[in-house]
């Protein structure tokens, strides 16, 4: 995954200096409209963590001292990735965060990758704009299953994209989603389904992308 091309760089971000008080940080958050911003050290190079508007509000409503340094409510100090991190590292680190901090090879703060950007990348992998139907095929995860499924489909059509989900869950070990290219007819799709099921693969869902977008 080429993270650098989708990162919002530090110069284009609202950040908070670690020397700021909670009161000052709250003002910055309210003016920016963001619910969370990165905290950097005084050099502006080192990522310290994140500060959330919600946590400051809660602290203030409980009568907390607003002159305390912003680091008093610092969160997500270990939640960061590097510019050369793998897609899997990115995906499993960001989880419920609004964004993940991105560091360069010198461990300095480079910018952020937002949750919405990651979702857009995943959406593109479905190839919705270039697809017609998406077939979700359940298999037992045997050696060679994926090769056999793609061989069957390729007899009738090319494959626009392929994603394997929920390995090790439910009564089936794997669900593989095949996106068929734009222009694939309903008849061809039905032929593919019949051929797959003849080989004991179960097509558990059929999505018509023309009706989804």
The Cα 159–Cα 135 span in angstroms is 11
Residue 138 has pLDDT above 70, yes or no: yes
| pLDDT for the residue numbered 1 | 56
Which of 30-39, 46-55, 81-90, 107-116 shows the lowest per-residue confidence on average (mean pLDDT)? 81-90
Instruction: Quick: pLDDT tens for 69-122.
Output: 999 999 999 999 999 998 878 888 898 899 999 999 999 999 999 999 988 877
- Pairwise CA distance, residues 100 & 47, whole Å: 11
Residues in the chain, overall count: 213
Domain 3-121 indexed as CATH 3.90.1150.10: no
pLDDT the model gives residue 164: 84
pLDDT at site 95: 84
Q: Where in the chain is the domain with CATH 3.30.70.260?
A: 128-212
- pLDDT value for 171: 52
Mean pLDDT, residues 40-66 taken together = 97
Half-sphere exposure of 27 (CA within 13 A, CB side): 8
**What mean pLDDT do residues 175-191 have?**
93
Tell how far CA 63 is from the center of its chain: 37
- Residue 194 neighbours by CB distance under 10 Å: 12
Q: Is 2 helix (H, G, I), strand (E, B) or coil?
A: coil
Going by pLDDT thresholds of 50, 70 and 90, the confidence category of residue 135 is very high
Provide mean pLDDT across the span 177-181: 92
- Give burial (CB, 10 Å; 0-12/13-18/19+) of 21: middle
**In this structure, are residues 39 and 49 in contact, taking their beta carbons and an 8 Å threshold?**
yes
Q: At the top level of CATH, which class does the domain 128-212 belong to?
A: alpha beta
Predicted pLDDT of residue 127:
60
- Asked if residue 18 has pLDDT above 60, the reply is yes
Residues of the chain with CATH 3.10.580.10: 3-121
pLDDT of residue 89: 86
Q: List the one residue out of 54, 36, 35, 43 whose CA is nearest residue 18.
A: 43
Do the Cβ atoms of 209 and 186 come closer than 8 Å? no
Instruction: Decide if 42 contacts 17 (C-beta within 8 A).
Output: yes
């Amino acid at each position: 995954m080429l993270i650098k091309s989708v990162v919002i760089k530090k110069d284009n971000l609202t950040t908070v200096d670690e020397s700021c008080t909670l009161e000052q940080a709250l003002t910055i958050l309210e003016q920016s409209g963001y619910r969370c911003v990165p905290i950097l050290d005084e050099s502006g190079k080192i990522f310290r963590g994140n500060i959330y508007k919600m946590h400051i509000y809660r602290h203030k409503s409980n009568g907390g001292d607003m002159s305390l340094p912003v680091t008093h409510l610092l969160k997500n100090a270990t939640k960061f990735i590097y510019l050369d991190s793998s897609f899997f590292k990115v995906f499993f680190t960001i989880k419920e965060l609004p964004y993940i901090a991105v560091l360069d090879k010198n461990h300095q703060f480079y910018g952020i990758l937002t949750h919405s950007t990651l979702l857009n990348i995943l959406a593109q992998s479905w190839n919705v704009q270039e697809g017609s139907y998406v077939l979700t095929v359940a298999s037992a995860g045997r050696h060679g299953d994926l090769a056999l499924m793609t061989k069957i489909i390729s007899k009738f059509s090319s494959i626009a994209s392929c994603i394997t989900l929920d390995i090790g869950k439910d009564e089936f070990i794997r669900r593989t989603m095949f996106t068929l290219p734009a222009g694939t007819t309903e008849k061809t799709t039905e032929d593919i389904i019949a051929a797959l099921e003849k080989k004991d693969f179960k097509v558990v869902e059929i999505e018509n992308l023309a009706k989804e977008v």
